[in-house]
């Protein structure tokens, strides 16, 4: 625990990986050493009473058990009260907020998978979330204005790289001294595992779940988040690494 002065507002970076087993990060030594060494706190613990995609994400958003947030299964996203999330609470407290990547299963009209609506989500200032099925290539992203951008099959369209740049863009947009909350939910390491073309020959074991896009690239060990926060002037950000299946 770190003692903070009364009224201090640290910034928050929350990374929610997808379907990662508890021992996933044992295979990613760069995460702890190179990524979060300079932040106030690094947490890799906690659990939900329903380790499934939507119930886990809803618990992370709300801090509630499944019987209270009512997102019992992956088609129950519309049951979850998105007006009462940690992102919305921080927004009300004056934070600049961002949501990047995968939002919530079984929610809205976002294609067959129902992963979003063409609306700004409650409390989100900077929005770059999947609309429709979250994939590594050939997907759509909706921003805070409801505008859709399609990404295809080019090397530059690899989802984790695109999302990483979205995070950088958000951090670069922040005015000095304003606290922020960045929520990034990449698809990795969810099956099926699709590496970027540049990683097709990489010697990365998939026996415990590949972390394509989280391990070998510019955005691989996420040291760029540490560097970006330092460049912005907030090395005291609180970083939390979570996954939706624990």
Closest-CA residue to 13 (of 99, 116, 75): 99
- Ranked by mean pLDDT, the top range of 157-161, 215-219, 220-224, 229-233 is 157-161
**Torsional sign, CA 158, 165, 112, 207:** positive
Contact 161, 121 (CB under 8 A): no
Whole-Å CA distances, 1 to 9, 41, 136, 238: 16, 8, 37, 11
Spatial distance between the Cα atoms of 83 and 68, rounded to a whole number of angstroms: 14
In this model, does residue 210 exceed pLDDT 50?
A: no
Nearest 5°: the CA angle 244, 125, 224 is 60
List 129's β-bridge partners, or say none: 101, 142
Contact 73, 52 (CB under 8 A): yes
The per-residue pLDDT for range 181-196, each reduced to its tens digit, is 999 998 876 777 788 8
Spatial distance between the Cα atoms of 180 and 204, rounded to a whole number of angstroms: 34
Predicted pLDDT at 144: 95
In this model, does residue 29 exceed pLDDT 80?
A: no
Predicted pLDDT at 38: 52
Predicted pLDDT at 27: 65
Predicted pLDDT at 46: 62
The per-residue pLDDT for range 68-117, each reduced to its tens digit, is 888 888 888 888 898 999 999 999 999 999 999 998 887 765 544 556 67
220 band by pLDDT with thresholds 50, 70 and 90: very low
Q: Is 227 exposed, middle or buried (0-12, 13-18, 19+ CB in 10 A)?
A: middle
Nearest 5°: the CA angle 51, 243, 39 is 145
Helix (H) or strand (E) holding 174: none
Contact 175, 183 (CB under 8 A): no
Predicted pLDDT at 4: 59
Spatial distance between the Cα atoms of 67 and 49, rounded to a whole number of angstroms: 9
In this model, does residue 229 exceed pLDDT 60?
A: no
Nearest 5°: phi and psi at 235? -75, -5
Lowest mean pLDDT among 16-30, 76-90, 150-164: 16-30
Query: What percent of the chain is predicted at pLDDT more than 90?
Result: 26
Predicted pLDDT at 104: 85
Q: To the nearest whole number, what is the mean pLDDT of the chain?
A: 76
What are the structure tokens assigned to 213, written together?
A: 């896009």
Query: Tokens 């907020």 — which residue?
Result: 97
Predicted pLDDT at 84: 92
Contact 51, 19 (CB under 8 A): no
Lowest mean pLDDT among 38-47, 70-79, 155-164: 38-47
Predicted pLDDT at 243: 77
Better-predicted residue by pLDDT, 98 or 49: 98
């Amino acid at each position: 625990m770190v003692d903070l002065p009364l009224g201090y507002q640290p910034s928050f970076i929350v990374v929610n990986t997808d379907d990662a087993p508890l021992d996933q990060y044992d295979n990613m030594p760069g995460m702890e050493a190179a990524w979060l060494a300079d932040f106030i706190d690094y947490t890799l613990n906690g659990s939900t009473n329903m380790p499934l995609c939507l119930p886990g994400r809803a618990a992370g958003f709300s801090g509630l058990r499944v019987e209270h947030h009512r997102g019992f299964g992956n088609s129950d996203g519309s049951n979850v009260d998105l007006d009462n999330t940690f992102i919305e609470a921080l927004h009300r407290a004056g934070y600049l907020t961002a949501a990047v990547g995968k939002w919530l299963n079984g929610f809205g009209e976002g294609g067959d998978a129902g992963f979003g609506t063409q609306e700004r989500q409650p409390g989100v200032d900077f929005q770059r979330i999947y609309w429709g099925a979250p994939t590594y290539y050939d997907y759509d992203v909706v921003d805070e204005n409801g505008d859709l951008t399609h990404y295809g099959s080019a090397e530059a369209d690899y989802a984790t790289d695109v999302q990483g740049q979205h995070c950088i863009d958000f951090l670069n947009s922040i005015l000095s001294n304003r606290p922020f909350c960045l929520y990034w939910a990449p698809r990795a390491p969810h099956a099926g595992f699709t590496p970027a073309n540049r990683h097709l020959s990489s010697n990365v074991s998939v026996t415990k779940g590949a972390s394509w896009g989280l391990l070998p690239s510019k955005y691989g060990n996420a040291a760029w988040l540490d560097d970006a926060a330092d460049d912005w002037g907030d090395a005291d950000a609180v970083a939390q690494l979570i996954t939706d299946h624990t």
